[in-house]
Amino acid sequence: MLLIDCPYCKEMRPEVEFSHAGEAHIDRPADPSSLSDEEWESFLFLRSNRAGICFERWYHIHGCGRYFNAVRNNVSEKFILTYPAGQKRPSDAQIKGALS
């Protein structure tokens, strides 16, 4: 069971308190009607899905009820960073820093 550091509760809590909420940093377009089918498909369905470092969202459903983002290595299952929703995607340097 993963241990997840909720950036709002500022506590490590077990995975069963959370639900995974998909890839992070996919902003809903401001005006979907202006998008082409391709662009809308990209927002709706196309995902990074790389092995290694991934950016993902978690919902602290049985806790504070907040959505937040995480950087995790999906091969080792190790969390690297968690941070509030709306915060910018961490840079490679920040990730490297957190890893060391």
Partner 1 sequence: MSHFSLPSLVANALGSNKGWTKQWAKPEPKANYDVIIVGAGGHGLAAAYYLAKEHNITNVAVLEKGWLGGGNTARNTTIIRSSYLRDESARLYDHALGLWEGLAQEINYNLMFSQRGAMALAHTVHDVQALKRRIYANRLNGIDGEWLSPQQAKAFCPPLNISTDARYPVLGAGLQRRGGVARHDGIAWGFARAASARGVHIIENCAVTGINRAPDGSVTGVETTRGTIGAKKIALSTAGNSSMLLDMAGIRTPIECFSLQALVSEPIEPIFPCVALSNSVHAYISQSDKGELVIGAGTEQYFSYSQRGPLHSVEHTVAAICEMFPIFTRLRMMRNWGGTVDVTPDRSPILGLTPVPGLYINAGWGTGGFKATPGAGHLLAFTIANNVPHDISAPFSLKRFQTGNLIDEAAAASVAH
Partner 2 sequence: MSEFRTAKGGRICRKTPLNFSFDGQSYAGLQGDSLASALLANGVHFVARSYKYHRPRGIMSAGTEEASALVGIDRGKGRFDTSTRATTQELFDGLKAQSQHCWPSLKFDVGALTALGSPVMSTGFYYKTFMWPKAFWEWVYEPILRNLAGLGRAPKEMDPDNYSSIHAHCDVLIIGAGPAGLAAALAASQSGSKVILVDENNEIGGDLLNCPIAQIDGTNSWDWLAETEKQLASLPNVTILTRTTAFGYYDQNFIGVVQKLSDHLGSLENKPDNKTLRERLWKVRAKRVVLATGSIERPLVFAGNDRPGIMLATAAKTFLNRYGVKVGNRPLVITNHDSAYESAFDLAEAGVEVAAIIDRRAKISSKLVEQAGKMGIEILLGHTIVQTSGKHRVCSVRAAPVGENASIRKIKCDAVLMCGGWTPSVHLFSQSRGTLTWRDDIGAYVPNNYTQDATSVGACNGDFLMSQSLNKGAVAGLEAAVSAGAKAPKSTSYKVVNEALTSDIPVEEIGIFSTIGEGKAFVDFQHDVTAKDIGQAVREGFHSIEHIKRFTTTGMATDQGKTSNLNGLAIASAALERPITEVGLTTFRPPYTPTSFGVLAGYSRGDLFDVTRKSPTEKWAEQNGAVFEPVGLWRRARYFPKTGENMHEAVARECKATRTSIGISDASTLGKIEVVGPDAAEFLNRIYTNPWSKLGVGRCRYGLMLGEDGYIFDDGVVGRLSEDRFHVTTTTSGAPRVFARMEDYRQTEWPELKVWLTSITEQWAVIALNGPNVRKLIEPFVEGIDFSKDTFPHMAIREGMIFGVPTRLFRVSFTGELGFEVNVPSAYGLGVWQRLMEAGKKFDIVPYGTESLHMLRAEKGYIIVGQETDGTQTPDDMGMNWAIGKKKQDFIGKRSLVRSDMLAPNRKQLVGLMTNDANIVLDEGAQIMGEKSNVIPAKMIGHITSSYWSETLQHSIALAIIDGGRARMGEEIYISMPGGFYPARIVDPVFYDPEGERLNV
List contacts with partner 1 (CB under 8 A): 1-2, 15-16, 19-20, 22-23, 37-38, 41-42, 44-52, 54, 56, 72, 74-77
Which residue is associated with the tokens 């993963």? 2
Only segment of 46-54, 72-80, 88-96 that touches partner 2 (CB under 8 A): 72-80
Interface with partner 2 in residues 45-64 (CB under 8 A): 57, 59, 61
CA nearest 7: which of 18, 16, 26? 18
42 SS3 class: helix
Length of the chain: 100
| Residue 13 or 93 with smaller CB distance to partner 2 | 13
User: DSSP secondary-structure letter at 37?
Assistant: H
The upper half-sphere exposure of residue 62, i.e. CA atoms within 13 Å in the direction of its Cβ, equals: 8
Q: Which residues bind partner 2 (CB under 8 A)?
A: 1-3, 19, 21, 27-28, 31-33, 35, 37, 40, 44, 57, 59, 61, 65-67, 76-78, 85-86
